[in-house]
A and B are shown apart, each in its own frame.
Chain A
Amino acid sequence: MNQPVSGLLISDFTIDTLGAFLVNAPQQPQCEIKTGPFGQVIGILNNPADSLWSTRPDFTIVWTQLSHVVPSFRKLLAFEPVPEAQLLQECDTFINAVKSAAGRTRFLFVMSWTLPPFLRGFGPIDHKPGLGWQSALLTLNKRMADQLSASQNIFILNTAAWTHTLGENAFNPKLWYLSKIPFDPSVFKLAAQDIKAAMLACLGKSRKIILLDLDDTLWGGVVGETGWQALNIGGHNPTGEAYADFQRALKALKNRGVILGIISKNEEAVALAALEQHPEMILRREDFAGWRINWQDKAANILSLLAELNLGVDSAVFIDDNPAERSRVSQALPDVLVPEWPAHSLLYPKALAALSCFDTIYVGAEDRARARMYATEHQRQEIRAQAQDINEWLKSLNITVTVEPLSAANLPRAAQLLNKTNQMNLTTRRLSEAEFMAWAKEPGHTVWTFRVQDNLGDSGLTGIISLELAAKTGHIVDLVLSCRVFGRQLEDLMLAILIAHAAKQGAETITARYLPTEKNPPCLEFLRDRSGFTALPDNLFCWKTTQAYAMPSMITVTNAS
């Protein structure tokens, strides 16, 4: 990621230290930061003409103290009674200001409110509704979360996670009185890490797959030496319980769409037998999208498995208890994330839970079903290997595609696909949900989404094509297809539908300009070698609508508009 992202910090305290960490920390993405004047939060949020908004920031941070944005909370701190309605009304004033600013930035992050642990309030009755500080804190944070939940580009980051990590040192009264900085710099350091992780998620750069070693990583012991019966997993001992919890945590990640794979130096049959037969094993063979279990170099095996699964190296995380293997993979494949791993297996579940690289801004049905989709893809490829030609294979799959225009219902998944797809992607355009919908609503613009099903399962919404129509020329702006369904003539179907629509609207020429990236040569190869489009200079491709684009005969289309 070469281009730095621009950020705007708005706060009612001195927030320069956060800006410094965002700019100077080595983690991606690199940031360029502007900071709003101290203590003018509502004014800046409510003023679209403020010069801070003149160059639309990629992200905006709004970090406030509760007693500043909800003045009545100060009365509560003085143990004066305050009606909850009053607190909520003042809270809503702040929330409405945040909402009003959301259109001026691509992504807006609001930090949740927290209180220093040394503010004891009423002690044991401090959670009593209508009375205690902690009760009001919970109510107001919940109010903010509820009121902002419908916004497509506003996300709340958890301040308490950073302050809890640092305990009593998180809040520093000296810094407050000296410079109006409420937190220790370490809080800002943790916040910067989470903001960067959130931005990567917004930009579709979350990691997609965990590649796991087996012996002493997924289970205790060496299966090749002891047999699966003697492996330590589950049972009633600390190590076995920790390995079981580690596997449960991996399964939980799988349930929300993270793919699991195995990279292990073992005999394949012996290792797979352990997954299938050990009674306490949480993860089973079918939980893994693929594996390389052999005695080859692990870096080479990772490349091979990722190629099979159509995933890039920058989508992978490699977990191995052996520092030498971690070092080898880090050096050979620097784009693979290789987290430092604790020496003691009791700490594995915590180390996994702490990884921020799987942070996401959307989880849909396609994510939850992703692991099963990879399993069915194995079956498809087995059928493909047995079929005489591609047509026989496609016929046997009985593919059905549902075509729908972009709508509020499919927008979250469509935006996710647009932002995460790298290979079959014409322009690699990255847009937030709000930006994508706004673009689709402009005159002459049309976006279609494609849901793909076949005999073996539902691949979900896996394709997008968009058209910009002006006079007698239609321009294809996006041609996006998930690698999971690429190569089944769906790309031809998408072009056929777009061209037929554009021709009906009077377009005589359809153009597509390929914008090259490191990862999207498959799109170029399709356009140049298989689409039938005429190649022109500067990666421009052209089709004359006097000729219809052939609809693939092996695909059934429903709901085509």
Chain B
Amino acid sequence: MPPKEKILTAIKDAINDINETLPRDRKISVHNDVPLYGPGGVVDSLTLTLLIVAIEQKIEQSLQKTVSLVDLSIISDENNVFKNISTLTEHLSSLIGQNAQ
């Protein structure tokens, strides 16, 4: 599986784990363009924390890469990589690509 697909799968697996803790009407959609965090997003700050840690763990398990999403600059309004799954996937691809160089 290409790295980008693995990243996407890891994100969706993490979301599925987090969804176990959420009521039916607040579950996070795994569609790529549904807003996650920020304007229109369904993820609150506590859930975002759980999601960040879960994604890091899934990436480590599936790609054997250590990444860190704990960075306030990537959650800011101008540069919110958690806007949706697509933006998050791009960010992680870039991170992993940089790490590989």
Contact = CB atoms under 8 A, between A and B. Distances in A.
A174 interface: yes
Contacts of A179: 46, 49-50
A517 interface: no
Given A172-B53, A174-B53, A178-B52, A21 B46 contact: no
B46 A175 contact: no
Given A172-B53, A178-B52, A178-B70, A23 B46 contact: no
A172 B52 CA distance: 12
Contact of A20 (B22, B54, B56): B22
A24 B49 contact: no
Nearest to B23: A24
A189 B19 CA distance: 12
Contacts of B57: 169
B21 interface: yes
* Most B-side CB within 10 Å, residue of A20, A172, A189: A20
A172 B49 CA distance: 12
Contact of B21 (A14, A172, A185): A185
B64 to A, nearest CB: 16
Interface string A158-201: 00000000000100101100110100110011000000000000
Contacts of A189: 20
Contact of A174 (B20, B46, B70): B70
Contacts of B17: 185
B76 to A, nearest CB: 16
Contacts of B52: 174, 178
A185 B50 contact: yes
B22 A24 contact: yes
Interface size class of A (residues with CB under 8 A): 10 to 19
A20 B21 contact: yes
B49 A21 contact: no
A174 B69 CA distance: 11
Contact of B46 (A14, A169, A188): A14
Interface string B24-56: 000000000000000000000010011011101
Contacts of B50: 17, 175, 179, 181, 185
A14 B53 CA distance: 16
Contacts of A175: 49-50, 53
Main DSSP-derived SS at the B contact region:
helix
Interface string B62-93: 00000000100000000000000000000000
A11 to B, nearest CB: 14
A90 interface: no
A454 interface: no
A178 B45 CA distance: 10
Contacts of B46: 14, 16, 179
Nearest to A18: B21
A167 to B, nearest CB: 13
B101 to A, nearest CB: 25
A20 B18 CA distance: 10
B21 A21 contact: yes
B53 A23 contact: no
Interface in A5-39: 14, 16-17, 20-21, 23-25
A21 B20 contact: yes
Contacts of B23: 20, 23-24
Nearest to A16: B46
B58 to A, nearest CB: 12
A108 to B, nearest CB: 24
A175 B17 CA distance: 15
A184 B20 CA distance: 14
B28 to A, nearest CB: 13
A174 B52 CA distance: 10
A88 to B, nearest CB: 36
Contacts of A24: 20-23
Interface in A372-397: none
B71 to A, nearest CB: 11
* Most B-side CB within 10 Å, residue of A23, A169, A178: A178
Nearest to A186: B17
A351 B50 CA distance: 30
A178 B23 CA distance: 23
B37 to A, nearest CB: 14
B67 to A, nearest CB: 12
A23 B23 CA distance: 8
Contacts of A169: 57
A172 B56 CA distance: 12
B77 to A, nearest CB: 20
Given A174-B53, A185-B54, 18 more contacts: A16-B46, A20-B21, A20-B22, A20-B23, A21-B21, A23-B23, A24-B20, A24-B22, A174-B52, A174-B56, A175-B53, A178-B49, A178-B52, A178-B53, A179-B46, A185-B18, A185-B21, A185-B50
| 5 tightest Cβ-Cβ pairs between the two chains A and B | A20-B21, A179-B49, A178-B49, A174-B53, A175-B53
9 contacts: A14-B46, A20-B22, A21-B21, A24-B20, A24-B21, A174-B52, A178-B49, A181-B49, A184-B53
Interface of A: 14, 16-17, 20-21, 23-25, 169, 172, 174-175, 178-179, 181, 184-185, 188-189
